[in-house]
């Protein structure tokens, strides 16, 4: 990670980023970045997803406002559908899941720069006590006094310091991600018992957005999209369950906001042709993923729009991603690995 930060800093300082972005725009004729955030907070806490700091977020938004044409997601989709020429240098802001720190720290910055954004909500987690399952794991492992865990199918772990806890959380999350929802819930309950940690019932309301937060941001110009009800990985459940998750999240948002909802975000970025078809058939005009392997062009499928994940990134690395250099390097790396 430190090597990447140093490389990004060198590329920015020497002017390589600006030169690369200029040449890339001339060759591709467009350079539209859909950025994906999850959290913005001044503290790195027990929650699994690391936040961008408010200072970094403001610097990033200011840079975009001064150097890019800012598009709403529906504007970009309309351009792609009509095959109009895209701006050479444009950006779209999206935020996933629905953490409360977005209302507390990101929303004021978006208002300051009059920046449009689309927030994708897992509607079943608003106004209740239910944390996202990965945050349940993170809370349990950060609060336990145990220094060693034998979790059978989830593995054995030593919890001697912060780094070992982070590695354990990442490993357990990766294993739980592959499991059906009911099996995952049982194993998290088991983890809670073994670690002797009970998650406070009020924690979900403190960590996640309320519907009143959402309505206020909607009145302030923020767009909202659906992200299923339970953040269900749609490719890993029966198609009927996938349809219910997609449709119910849309219906709930439209009822709560009294606005049409037309954008969808695939949880974990996982989708296939049948899931994309479900989304298209049920009133959505576009869907976004998380692959981060390309910037957007007129050739893109509006139900498979790629995004660049901005997670605890330095300003130099952020500029590297926006220039196209970071994205293109990642594409080459993925292509090399797949051979």
Q: How far is CA 141 from CA 43, 99, 200, 247, 321, in A?
A: 18, 20, 14, 34, 33
Residue 22's pLDDT is 61
How do beta strands 263-265 and 69-70 pair? unpaired
> Which is more confident, 5 or 152?
152
Distance CA 65, CA 71 (A): 11
Most confident of 159-163, 182-186, 254-258, 312-316: 254-258
Residue 78's pLDDT is 96
Section 109-138 average pLDDT? 94
Residue 265's pLDDT is 98
> Which is more confident, 148 or 312?
148
Residue found by looking up tokens 């990101």 in the block: 106
pTM here is 0.89
Distance CA 294, CA 306 (A): 7
Task: Name the phi and psi angles at 274, rounded to 5.
Answer: -70, -35
pLDDT in tens, 8-59: 444 444 456 667 666 666 666 667 899 999 999 998 887 888 888 999 999 9
pLDDT at 120 over 70: yes
Helix, strand, coil share of the chain (percent; to 5): 55, 15, 35
Which tokens go with 81? Answer: 């559908």
* Pair 217, 141 in one domain: no
Q: Does the residue 334 lie in any domain?
A: yes
Residue 338's pLDDT is 54
**Is-contact 190 196, C-beta < 8 A?**
no
pLDDT at 2 over 60: no
* Pair 159, 298 in one domain: no
Helices (H), 124-210: 133-143, 162-177, 181-195, 203-207
Count of domains observed in the chain:
2
* Pair 99, 51 in one domain: yes
* Pair 219, 317 in one domain: yes
* Pair 109, 248 in one domain: yes
pLDDT at 326 over 80: no
Which tokens go with 3? Answer: 């090597």
Single out the residue in 195, 221, 242 at which a domain terminates. 195
* Pair 187, 219 in one domain: no
DSSP 65-129: HHHSEE--HHHHHHHHHHTPPPPSSEEEEEEEE-BHHIIIIIHHHHHHTT---EEEE-GGGTTSS
- Give Cα 171 distance to the centre of its chain: 19
* Pair 116, 229 in one domain: yes
Distance CA 204, CA 135 (A): 10
DSSP 285-329: SEEE-------B-TTS-TTSB--EE-SS--HHHHHHHHHTHHHHH
> Which is more confident, 260 or 328?
260
Q: Does the residue 200 lie in any domain?
A: no
pLDDT at 190 over 70: yes
Residue 63's pLDDT is 92
pLDDT bracket for residue 257 (50, 70, 90): very high
* Pair 225, 269 in one domain: yes
Q: Does the residue 243 lie in any domain?
A: yes
DSSP 51: P
* Pair 123, 141 in one domain: no
pLDDT at 84 over 70: yes
Distance CA 323, CA 64 (A): 11
Distance CA 136, CA 132 (A): 6
Residue 316's pLDDT is 76
**Which range marks the domain in which residue 280 is found?**
2-128+207-338
Least confident stretch, 101-115, 222-236, 317-331: 317-331
Which tokens go with 111? Answer: 């208002």
pLDDT in tens, 94-104: 999 999 999 99
pLDDT at 271 over 80: yes
Distance CA 75, CA 41 (A): 29
Residue 48's pLDDT is 82
pLDDT at 245 over 80: yes
Which tokens go with 334? Answer: 């993925």
Distance CA 300, CA 289 (A): 12
Which domain CATH number covers 273?
Answer: 3.20.20.370
pLDDT at 283 over 70: yes
pLDDT in tens, 129-146: 789 999 999 999 999 999
Residue 313's pLDDT is 63
Residue 15's pLDDT is 58
Q: Does the residue 235 lie in any domain?
A: yes
Q: Does the residue 62 lie in any domain?
A: yes
Q: Does the residue 309 lie in any domain?
A: yes
* Pair 67, 18 in one domain: yes
Q: Does the residue 201 lie in any domain?
A: no
* Pair 57, 113 in one domain: yes
Residue 8's pLDDT is 42
Taking phi first (over 0 means left), then psi (-120 to 50 degrees means alpha), and beta for anything else, what does residue 301 get?
beta
Distance CA 290, CA 266 (A): 8
* Pair 171, 186 in one domain: yes
DSSP 54: H
Non-local (6+) Cβ contacts of 93 within 8 A are 35, 37, 61, 64, 70, 110, 115, 116, 117, 118
């Amino acid at each position: 990670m430190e090597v990447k930060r140093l490389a990004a800093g060198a590329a920015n300082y020497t002017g390589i980023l600006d030169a690369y972005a200029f040449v890339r725009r001339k060759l591709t004729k467009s350079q539209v970045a859909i950025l994906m955030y999850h959290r913005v907070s001044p503290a790195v806490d027990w929650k699994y997803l690391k936040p961008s700091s408010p200072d970094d977020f403001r610097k990033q938004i200011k840079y975009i406002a001064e150097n890019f044409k800012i598009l709403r997601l529906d504007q970009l989709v309309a351009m792609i559908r009509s095959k109009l020429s895209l701006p050479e240098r444009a950006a779209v802001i999206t935020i996933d899941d629905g953490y409360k720190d977005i209302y507390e720290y990101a929303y004021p910055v978006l208002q300051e720069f009059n920046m449009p954004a689309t927030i994708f909500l897992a509607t079943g987690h608003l106004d209740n006590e239910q944390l996202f399952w990965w945050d349940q794991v993170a809370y349990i492992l950060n609060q336990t006094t145990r220094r060693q865990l034998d979790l059978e199918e989830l593995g054995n772990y030593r919890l001697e310091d912060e780094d070992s806890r982070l590695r354990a959380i990442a490993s357990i999350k990766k294993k739980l991600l592959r499991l059906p929802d009911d099996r995952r819930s049982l194993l998290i309950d088991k983890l809670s018992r073994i670690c002797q940690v009970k998650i406070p019932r009020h924690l979900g309301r403190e960590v996640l957005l309320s519907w009143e937060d959402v309505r206020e941001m909607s009145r302030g110009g923020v767009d909202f999209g659906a992200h299923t009800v339970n953040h269900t990985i749609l490719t890993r459940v029966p198609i009927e369950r996938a349809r219910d998750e997609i449709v119910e999240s849309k219906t709930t948002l439209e009822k709560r906001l009294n606005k049409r909802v037309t954008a969808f975000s695939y949880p974990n970025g996982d989708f296939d042709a049948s899931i994309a078809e479900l989304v298209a058939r049920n009133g959505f005009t576009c869907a976004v993923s998380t692959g981060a392997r390309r910037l957007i062009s007129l050739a893109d499928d509006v139900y498979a729009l790629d995004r660049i994940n901005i997670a605890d990134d330095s300003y130099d690395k952020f500029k590297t991603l926006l220039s196209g250099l970071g994205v293109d390097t990642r594409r080459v790396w993925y292509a090399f690995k797949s051979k």
